[in-house]
Amino acid sequence: MSALAPNRIARLRLDRWAIALVLVAIYLVGLVLSPSAFGNPVYLLNTVRQVTPVGIAAIGVTMVMIIGGVDLSVGAVISMTVVLSAALMDGAASNMPLAIAVACCAGILMGAINGALIAFSRVSPFILTLGTGIALIGLTQMFTGGTARGAVAPGFREVFNARLGGTLPVLALFLLGLTAVGLVIEKRTLLGRHLFLLGSNAQAARLAGLPVRGITIAAYTLSGLFAALAGLALLARSGVSSTQAGQGMEFQVLAAVVLGGTTFEGGRGGIIGTVIGVLVLGLAFNLVNVMGLPYHAQLVVMGAIIIAASALYGQLGGAGN
Amino acid sequence: CAQSVDALREAKASEIVDTAPFVKEGPYRVGVSAGYLSNSWVIFALQQLRWEASKHDVEEIIVTDAAFNPAKQISDIEDLLRQDIDLLIYWPVDDASVEDVLARAIADGVPTVQAGGGFTASDSTVANAYISQWKLGEMVARQLVKDMGGEGKVVAMLPIAGTVAAVEQLAALETVLADHPGIELAAVEYGDWNRAKAKQITENLLQRFPRIDGVFSPAGQMSIGMAEAFDEAGRLSEVTFSPGDEFNGWLKWVAQHGQGGAVTFPTKAGSVALQVGLDILQGNEVKRGLAVASEYIAPTDIGDYADMDAPDDWWATDLPAEFLPQQ
Amino acid sequence: MPLLEAHNLSKHYAGVAALTEVDFSADAGEIHALVGANGAGKSTLMTIIAGANTPSEGTLSLDGVPLRHGGPAAAQAQGIATVYQEFSLVPHLSVARNIFLGREPVTRLGLVDRAGLIAQTCALLDRFAITLDPMAEVGTLSVAQQQMVEIARALSQPARILILDEPTAVLSLAEQENLFRIMRRLRADGMLVLYVSHYLNEVLEIADRITVLRDGRIVGTRKAKDLQISDLVQMMIGRDAPVAPTAADSPERAANFVITYATHAGQQELTMQAGEIVGLAGLVGAGRTTFGRAIAGLHRPGAIATLTHEGALLNNSTPRQAMRAGIAYLTEDRKKDGLFAGLDIVANATAAALPRTTRGGFRRPQVERAQAEAVLKRLHLVAARLGMPVAQLSGGNQQKVVLGRALMTEPRLLICDEPTRGVDIGAKAELHQIIRDLAANGAAVLIISSEFEELQALAHRIVVMRDRCFVADLPVGQADQQEMLIAASGGPTEKETA
Amino acid sequence: MSGAVAQPGQMGIAFGRAGIWIALSVVLVVAGALLPQFRDPENLANIGRQIGVLGILAIGQTFVIAAGAIDLSVGMLAGLVVVLTCALSPEYALLPVMLAMMCLGAGVGVLNGVMFTRLRLNPLILTFGMMSVLHGVIFIITDRSIGRAPSFLRDLANGQMWGVPFAAMIVLALGIAGHVALTRSKFGYHLLATGGNTESARRAGIPTRRIFVLAFALSGISAALAGLLLAGRIGVGFPLAGQGLELDAIVAVVLGGTALSGGRGSVARAIAGVVLLAIISNLLNLMQVSGFAQTALKGMIVVIAILVNQPPKDRA
Ligand SMILES: Nc1ncnc2c1ncn2[C@@H]1O[C@H](COP(=O)(O)OP(=O)(O)OP(=O)(O)O)[C@@H](O)[C@H]1O
Ligand SMILES: Nc1ncnc2c1ncn2[C@@H]1O[C@H](COP(=O)(O)OP(=O)(O)OP(=O)(O)O)[C@@H](O)[C@H]1O
Ligand SMILES: [Mg+2]
Ligand SMILES: [Mg+2]
């Protein structure tokens, strides 16, 4: 019996926390370049508020990616819930519960459809969810006829954008709460363990008698639900519905999840990493913005940060091919 | 330079075009190639066009949507030409990109009319029903300078980088500011006609600049996002907003806050385009460019335009009920 | 001068020393075997020689000339051909393309000569009397057939050294005999064959010299003819061999399992008693795995197994249902559908029995851990921590974890497909004892094995399968190896089953 | 990528390979029978023109996907080529510009490939980052349409001979070359092996890193070629010209039955996928389906097509 040497344990920790190191590094760079911004809690919490929609959606997508899938339809689901809930609210506070409930159900339905199609076939989830996402965008546009219908109920935006004690935004709390929910699912429930088992080895999971299809559907359904909640958060943030609200968000979400150490192969990673990944992207975007780089330079820097951060992570032994 | 471009444009616009090769008997089939449809202004302009068509001898309107993809728009126009249309109305993703295919349309005897924000002087566009983004930008900039008293630090929020709208609005702003050295253009950002994005960018601008005196934002959609960011940062009082367009959400905001105002970006450009097209088909005298004028609405007069019961994503309009977009 | 010489080789994996200061030499024209317990470092040494692995320290030389490390391609170019312990085939490609991977013949146009490729493959397979379809996609072949593809690939190279890392673990008797013939022929041609195996009797039969590794160090190199199995075991594990196991007595005939197997060839039946261990023998591709998987709910067209227990029909329509009905299946391909490689030991062991440890959908990690620990203790698992990734365990210990998973479901019928493949002799005896205990506690056990000794040691009854049919059913006392081979390969048999 | 995996049944493959051809035939027959405008040779020529850019992109993408990676940067790369070609053409001769663009494409591809193999990055994330970088570079060059495509490219993209558009001929020629390279050349053999199981290929002595770099380089070159044709098609250096092309190309490749997990792939079927998408888009236009409904239908068609055209089933 060979005992494990201590440096192996240290190394494992390093793998897991690589993305946190990246976060700290970016933060320190920000602090040096713009102490007034990055030293200011109001500013930092505002960054959290900005990334809330992406962050919430990323929690759901993490669960899907743990089982080795991927969900590119989240952008479309976000757009759909934004439009749908605004249309149902129709400017009246009394409609709010109904609108929120329907939006969540729509997200769940879309997720369940994705999950069922994937569970009962052998198609690539990447292309399948790309397809269902495109279809959903079209359906949303048909529903609206091109103008964003409806209006946000009074108070909806105000409540979510309020700052408790003048610093802590309610939206950030919303993200925190949903992160906690996601963490409980991941770490403490049967489903959470099933996600990892299925993602680690689908064949073995089937042989071990796990309800593979049920797990798949559950994961995608959760992704749909979290995307719907992200849509509500986005509606709260932007205050207006738009058929393009979630356009392209799926790639930000994907970048964050992968940065956080959840791989496309599945079986590893987790929500903590994802949330840190989201924050890395948020801080990076703010950093280039605060530095006053023009729009196009921002794109270059963003791309470079995504590559560099995941390269650093890969070098530390985490992701990779 | 940009100013002279506009002058040149006006000169070119007053040319009389040769309609002889296109004259035809009705009823007409009209093809509409939209560069994009997922935008409420465009939807209203299209409804204006349909409304106008209902008053004339138009048998069918066929609409395609290129969803911002210039190559798809070329394909769309090719496909429209295969459906025996008599008139092609389009608004381009990019005006130069459709030139070749429009030339083929003309060779097929189908006149081409551009609708919306741009003016194209090329031979492959027979006529334009246009709103000058440059003029609009200039009006907005002048009003802003006036409201600010010619002093202070300004940030500009433009639509998608690279679009005609973004290019001409910026050119107009820079031209106006050249005469007003007291005003400093601190930052130019692109909010993609996206309220949430404009808001996020503004939040960062607020962090970057301890003081911002003015906002140049001709698109009302983005102006609201910006206003929310200023509001949430508790800094709404320090800033002067430029006029936006007739985006209903913005009009409502102006009505509530009594500042900013609006410069119209009339959706009736759609019906004007159809009229011009029909004039060509009927051999009437047609100028190469028919400008649909923008006008300034002061905050005090906004009440006539803002529809407090309609959604934000809505435009001041005189469309009859049956032609209103679905709500 | 020895053909191959290793001097002072060491290999460290993040804190684990797989090899420590190994000095090793082997000559042309010999079959040199390497033995050692699981994790002793045999494969590590082989992969380093094959160029697929870089040593942390030390040098290798060929004919006295130092080998520079240049990856597998360089090693191949210098005449080293390798059959790796883990599969190294590309499943989507055909047998022919796999065999000549990287060395495809080309036509004058510079394109791959497809006809030539097939022809060369056929010639090679004929020369070594290997029966394989050159056009078949490798992924569709059985494990044993895939192993033969790997061997054929190694043989297709002009080599001076052939490395075989546990080649016979998945082979059945006939292939094994053929392989030994081939090895002797290569030896006669002056080649060095490096041979890793856990089957000590095989090793003693075929090898000229034997090197024993323990914990990454060389214990010694001896002439095979000077050695007995007991000496080898002594060298490998540092103590005497475990007591040779014998077959247990037949149990009371009780609670019947009747298994009906429907194939294209028709329906047949197999009965088993609770407490009985039935061995399933057969040559490669006889269809034993397919049968076992069908019982466990992994049916495929033309292989449907239904079963009754005391007359009551059990639902085995899916693996999940089968598991609920008390049927557990231990896979022959641990890596592919046994292990959750990235997860820790507890997660692996409890995977099938998780609902038993949860309350209201919420996990109770302590309960999980305690239950896993209890089972794994019974199996004498050797691991530093229960929280370590299962992939870091040695093969035998991995097998124990997978077996532990099956035991946690408390099965009434356990199907073990090649349960001790790639497991060292010490662990093997332990696994055998566990299976016996399980049967003694009332479970019916079906053992699929290509190793006659294993079946003889464990089973009460041996069923022989040929071409998807049960062709003989013998009490273990009456089954001798000769007779089983005849039955398995299609000769006349004494007792035919229904 | 682990040991011996997927165990496809023969039936599944046979159908998987035929799937795209069946779909294409069905759509052709039905459309030809029901819509006279569709049969119109001019309309068919239009479709031929419309497959040019995507067809070329799909060829390059097939190589990368068959190698087990993916390249999201090709759309923006093509867009960059469009902008540069149009910007440079007025001043420089056509041939040097085209050569420079091919070098640019190859360079970006090699950069992708080297980063992929050396930094062990996930290809999706790597090329997504590269896409963002290229997007930025385009806008550093220009934020508006610039220049004019040389007339040669414009004629190439829009012209035809004997009723067959040049664009279709180019796709056909490159497609045959790509198909032969993937199915008959040593490089193709080694690429499919690398995609099927990288470690096995490496152990067989295949320089897998070089294979990946070459695959990405091919993808970059095909993006450059597609960009040149796209420049001819739209005639002007529009900065966003390439946006979204990468996803369409990937969809086409997958419709053609190439698995995203690598190891399988067919250039011919990828091009069939492109043709199918072009025909569907053409049909929806001819049938006057509204733009929004077209989007919805396109998504549903992708879903149905991949459900019908599934990868082969694993051994139970
Ligand atoms: N990639 C790796 N990372 C970390 N440790 C490894 C790795 N590969 C092997 N080891 C460790 O190195 C040691 C030697 O392993 P090796 O595979 O050489 O043993 P072996 O003698 O071939 O055993 P077996 O009989 O089970 O095949 C073991 O402790 C194993 O856990
Ligand atoms: N009932 C059946 N119907 C159709 N095909 C079968 C059937 N049984 C077995 N086969 C085929 O025969 C081949 C060998 O079967 P299998 O792997 O079950 O044999 P095995 O005896 O376990 O051999 P090995 O020694 O290789 O483990 C498989 O490829 C399988 O497809
Ligand atoms: Mg080994
Ligand atoms: Mg078997």
Q: What is the pLDDT of residues B177-213, one digit of tens each?
A: 999 988 999 889 888 887 878 888 888 888 778 889 9
Please give the tally of structural domains in chain C.
Answer: 2
> Residue C284: its pLDDT value, please?
66
> Residue C445: its pLDDT value, please?
93
Question: Of the spans A105-119, C225-239, D238-252, which averages the highest pLDDT?
Answer: A105-119
The number of angstroms, rounded, from the C-alpha of B186 to the middle of its chain's C-alpha atoms is 25
Lowest pLDDT segment from A269-278, B266-275, D55-64: B266-275
Nearest CA, atom 14, ligand 2: C285
pLDDT tens digits for range C288-327: 899 999 999 988 888 888 888 888 888 888 999 999 899 9
- Please report the DSSP string for B211-251 in residue order: ---EEE---HHHHHHHHHHHHHTT-GGG-EEPPB-SBHHHH
CA of B327 to the centre of ligand 4 (A): 65
> Residue A78: its pLDDT value, please?
95
Average pLDDT over residues D84-90: 88
Same domain? For C437 and C477 the reply is yes
Cα separation, A278 vs A48, in Å, equals 9
| pLDDT at residue A58 greater than cutoff 80 | yes
Average pLDDT over residues D305-313: 67
CA of C43 to the centre of ligand 1 (A): 7
pLDDT band at A315 (very low <50, low <70, confident <90, very high): low
Same domain? For C167 and C289 the reply is no
| pLDDT at residue A211 greater than cutoff 80 | yes
Top-confidence residue, A256 or A108: A108
Give the mutation candidate from D112, D118, D128 for the A interface (greatest A CB count, under 10 A). Answer: D128
Domain D17-27+38-308 has CATH 1.10.3470: yes
Please name the member of A50, A147, A157 whose beta carbon is closest to the beta carbon of B313.
A147
Cα separation, C203 vs C196, in Å, equals 8
Tell me whether residue C250 is in a domain.
Answer: no
Top-confidence residue, D312 or C428: C428
> Residue D3: its pLDDT value, please?
33
pLDDT band at D309 (very low <50, low <70, confident <90, very high): low
Give the mutation candidate from C53, C80, C92, C138 for the D interface (greatest D CB count, under 10 A). Answer: C92
| Cβ-Cβ contacts under 8 Å for B78 (sequence gap 6 or more) | B101, B104, D46, D49, D50
- On whether any CB of chain B is under 8 Å from the CB of D41, the answer is no
Q: Rounded to whole angstroms, what are the CA distances from D134 to A18, B96, C210, D24, D130? A: 27, 23, 60, 35, 6
Please indicate whether residue C392, judged by its CB atom, sits closer than 6 Å to ligand 1.
Answer: yes
| Cβ-Cβ contacts under 8 Å for C55 (sequence gap 6 or more) | C9, C10, C11, C19, C48, C69
Cα separation, C118 vs C105, in Å, equals 10
CA of C418 to the centre of ligand 4 (A): 7
**Complex-level ipTM:** 0.79
Strands C209-214 and C192-196 come out as unpaired
Q: Which of D53, D47, D56 is CA-nearest to residue D27?
A: D47
Q: Which of C338, C382, C344 is CA-nearest to residue C37?
A: C382
Q: Rounded to whole angstroms, what are the CA distances from C460 to C274, C291, C452? A: 12, 20, 13
> Residue A7: its pLDDT value, please?
38
> Residue C347: its pLDDT value, please?
92
| pLDDT at residue D62 greater than cutoff 50 | yes
Per-domain residue ranges of chain A = 13-319
Which chains, if any, share at least 3 CB pairs under 8 A with chain B?
A, D
| pLDDT at residue D7 greater than cutoff 60 | no
- Please report the DSSP string for A225-291 in residue order: HHHHHHHHHHHHHH-S--TTTTTTHHHHHHHHHHHTT--TT-S---HHHHHHHHHHHHHHHHHHHHT
Structure tokens at B89: 């109305």
Same domain? For C163 and C40 the reply is yes
Would you give the DSSP letter of residue C138?
G
pLDDT band at A2 (very low <50, low <70, confident <90, very high): very low
Structural contact between residues D33 and D229, judged by C-beta atoms closer than 8 angstroms: no
Average pLDDT over residues B272-284: 87
Query: Please, what is the Cα angle at D131 between A224 and D262, to 5 degrees?
Result: 70
User: Which ligand is nearest to the Cα of residue C39, counting in written order?
Assistant: 1
Tell me whether residue C329 is in a domain.
Answer: yes
pLDDT band at B2 (very low <50, low <70, confident <90, very high): low
pLDDT tens digits for range B31-72: 999 888 877 888 888 888 888 888 888 888 888 888 888 888
> Residue A223: its pLDDT value, please?
97
Structural contact between residues A70 and A264, judged by C-beta atoms closer than 8 angstroms: yes
Query: What is the distance in angstroms between the Cα of B112 and the nearest Cα belonging to chain A?
Result: 24
Tell me whether residue C306 is in a domain.
Answer: yes
CB distance A135–D295 less than 8 Å?
A: yes
Query: What is the distance in angstroms between the Cα of D12 and the nearest Cα belonging to chain C?
Result: 12
Give the mutation candidate from B63, B69, B102 for the D interface (greatest D CB count, under 10 A). Answer: B69
Q: Least CA distance to B72: which residue of chain D?
A: D50
> Residue A99: its pLDDT value, please?
92
- The SS3 of residue A136 is helix
| pLDDT at residue D13 greater than cutoff 50 | no
Same domain? For C221 and C275 the reply is no
| pLDDT at residue A317 greater than cutoff 70 | no
pLDDT tens digits for range C434-491: 888 888 888 899 999 877 778 888 888 889 888 788 888 888 777 676 677 677 765 5
Cα separation, C24 vs C196, in Å, equals 14
> Which chain C residues are within 8 Å of D4, Cβ to Cβ?
87, 89, 91, 138-139, 143, 146, 333, 336
Kindly report the number of other CB atoms within 10 A of residue A101's CB atom.
Answer: 12
Q: Which of B269, B271, B283 is CA-nearest to residue B26?
A: B283
Q: Least CA distance to D254: which residue of chain A?
A: A127
* Residue the block writes with tokens 């497991």: C423
pLDDT tens digits for range D172-231: 999 999 999 998 898 999 999 998 888 888 888 888 899 999 999 999 999 999 999 999
Phi first, then psi: what are they for C257, rounded to 5°? -105, 125
> Residue A316: its pLDDT value, please?
59
Tell me whether residue C408 is in a domain.
Answer: yes
Same domain? For C221 and C303 the reply is no
Domain enclosing residue C52, as ranges: 4-237
> Residue A113: its pLDDT value, please?
96
Query: What is the distance in angstroms between the Cα of D67 and the nearest Cα belonging to chain B?
Result: 29
Please indicate whether residue C41, judged by its CB atom, sits closer than 6 Å to ligand 1.
Answer: yes
Same domain? For C427 and C486 the reply is yes
Would you give the end-to-end CA distance of chain B in angstroms?
Answer: 43
pLDDT tens digits for range C1-43: 788 888 888 888 765 678 888 899 888 889 999 988 767 888 8
Q: Which of B102, B63, B22 is CA-nearest to residue B276?
A: B22
CA of D143 to the centre of ligand 3 (A): 60
CA of C34 to the centre of ligand 2 (A): 31
Please name the member of C15, C329, C337 whose beta carbon is closest to the beta carbon of A4.
C15
pLDDT tens digits for range B143-190: 999 988 888 999 999 988 777 788 889 999 999 999 998 899 988 988
- The SS3 of residue B186 is strand
CATH code: domain A13-319 is 1.10.3470
Same domain? For C96 and C137 the reply is yes
> Which chain A residues are within 8 Å of B43, Cβ to Cβ?
145-147
Nearest CA, atom 17, ligand 1: C43
From start to end of C45-101, where are the E strands?
A: 57-62, 65-66, 80-83
pLDDT tens digits for range B297-326: 888 887 778 887 787 778 878 888 888 876
Kindly report the number of other CB atoms within 10 A of residue C115's CB atom.
Answer: 10
pLDDT band at A16 (very low <50, low <70, confident <90, very high): low
> Residue C155: its pLDDT value, please?
84
Alpha helices in C239-297 (DSSP H): 288-295
Same domain? For C223 and C361 the reply is no
Same domain? For C365 and C444 the reply is yes
User: Which ligand is nearest to the Cα of residue C394, counting in written order?
Assistant: 1
pLDDT tens digits for range D95-154: 888 899 999 999 999 999 998 888 878 788 788 888 888 988 888 888 777 888 888 888
Structural contact between residues C98 and C76, judged by C-beta atoms closer than 8 angstroms: no
Please name the member of A50, A146, A241 whose beta carbon is closest to the beta carbon of B203.
A50
Cα separation, C289 vs C419, in Å, equals 12
CA of C443 to the centre of ligand 4 (A): 22
| pLDDT at residue C191 greater than cutoff 60 | yes
- The SS3 of residue C200 is helix
Classify residue C368 as left (phi > 0), alpha (psi -120 to 50) or beta: alpha
Tell me whether residue C115 is in a domain.
Answer: yes
CB distance D204–C72 less than 8 Å?
A: yes
pLDDT band at B241 (very low <50, low <70, confident <90, very high): very high
Nearest CA, atom 13, ligand 2: C285
Please indicate whether residue C187, judged by its CB atom, sits closer than 6 Å to ligand 1.
Answer: no
Average pLDDT over residues B2-31: 77
Cα separation, A90 vs A50, in Å, equals 25
Structure tokens at B32: 């509409």
Please name the member of C296, C323, C336 whose beta carbon is closest to the beta carbon of A203.
C336
Alpha helices in C238-344 (DSSP H): 288-295, 319-324, 334-337
| pLDDT at residue B216 greater than cutoff 50 | yes
10 Å CB burial of residue A22 (0-12, 13-18, 19+) is buried
Point out the ligand 2 atom lying closest to the alpha carbon of residue C172. Answer: 25
Point out the ligand 2 atom lying closest to the alpha carbon of residue C140. Answer: 29
Last residue of a domain, one of C204, C237, C270: C237
CB distance D263–C91 less than 8 Å?
A: yes
The set of protein residues with a Cβ atom below 6 angstroms from ligand 2 is C 142-144, 172, 263-264, 282, 284-290, 302-303, 332, 450, 468
Tell me whether residue C242 is in a domain.
Answer: no
Nearest CA, atom 25, ligand 1: C38
User: Is this structure's pTM higher than 0.90?
Assistant: no
Evaluate whether chains D and A are touching (3 or more beta carbon pairs less than 8 Å apart). yes
Kindly report the number of other CB atoms within 10 A of residue A184's CB atom.
Answer: 13
Nearest CA, atom 10, ligand 2: C287
CB distance B94–D244 less than 8 Å?
A: no
Per-domain residue ranges of chain D = 17-27+38-308
CA of C380 to the centre of ligand 1 (A): 19
User: Which ligand is nearest to the Cα of residue C164, counting in written order?
Assistant: 3
Cα separation, C398 vs C403, in Å, equals 9
Mean of all residue pLDDT scores within chain B: 85
> Which chain C residues are within 8 Å of A208, Cβ to Cβ?
319, 323, 351-352, 405
